[in-house]
Structure 1
Amino acid sequence: MMRIEAIRTLVAVYDNMSVVGAARERGYSASAVSRQMAELQRQLGVVLFKADGRGISPTRHASGLVAQAREVLAPLDRLEQYAKRLRDVTQLADDAERVGDP
């Protein structure tokens, strides 16, 4: 089963065309990103990226998977943004209530 964090890392690797760039973006070590990509490739049974002279290039499998991943992640990102706003509003209400307490 693919984990959401691994899917987000896949998209970061694809967007950066770099394990190091993806690691920086995600706040992981490069070896952690490499392990996530190796596990994802093992689960799927396909190669997602190939090494080229100066970095990596995506396979057609990676391109297709990333397109699907973006469709899945977009509503999750909206949900996370909504939850953050909800927490912020709740925190403001709690703070206002405490200020009004005698």
Structure 2
Amino acid sequence: MELIVTLVVAFPLGFFVRSRGTAYVAYIAVHSFVFSFQNTELVREWSGGDHSAFPKDPGAVPWSYVLANVAIYAAGFGLVTLGHAVRTRLRRRNAEAVDLAH
């Protein structure tokens, strides 16, 4: 769920929001909500006996879960940055003067 939302939301935020800082904050807000919801669902499943996301031992650190979420979070920031760069490049290209005399 977190990956899907990141892929669908991050690039458009960078492209359509004029300020890159505002786009980052908006991505953080969307990601925080989705991550909280996803984590709640995984903990509910874990307490019901499903150990596919978290280990059986509650004292063990689920490094694979941590690393996967950090990678998705970083990729989202990269997509926001890419969206902003594409928008800036398109605006610059469209703003250049066109010589119609030739």
TM-score bracket, shorter-length normalisation: 0.3 to 0.5
The normalised TM-score by structure 2 is 0.38
With CA pairs under 8 Å and 6+ residues apart, which has the higher RCO, 1 or 2?
2
Q: As a proportion of its length, which structure holds more strand?
A: 1
The normalised TM-score by structure 1 is 0.38
